[in-house]
Amino acid sequence: GKGVAAGLGALAIISPFSAVIALSGVIIAVLSKYVSLGSVIGTSLSLGALIVFSAFEVTIFGWDHDRWDLLFAIPVSILIIWSHQSNIGRLVKGDESKLENKPAPRRAQ
State the residue range of the domain holding 38. 4-93
Any domain includes 101: no
Q: How far is CA 93 from CA 6, 83, 99, in A?
A: 28, 18, 17
Any domain includes 102: no
Residues 27-44: what's their mean pLDDT? 96
**pLDDT tens for each residue of 52-67:** 999 998 888 888 888 8
Model confidence, pTM: 0.84
Any domain includes 54: yes
The mean pLDDT value of the chain amounts to 90
Any domain includes 47: yes
Q: Please tell me the predicted confidence (pLDDT) of residue 61.
A: 83
Any domain includes 81: yes
Any domain includes 107: no
Residue type at 3 in one-letter notation: G
Q: Is the per-residue pLDDT at 103 higher than 70?
A: no
Any domain includes 72: yes
Domain count, the chain: 1
Q: Could you give the residue ranges of the DSSP H alpha helices within the chain? A: 4-14, 16-22, 24-32, 35-55, 69-83, 85-93
Residue 43 near residue 6, CB atoms below 8 Å: no
Q: Please tell me the predicted confidence (pLDDT) of residue 106.
A: 74
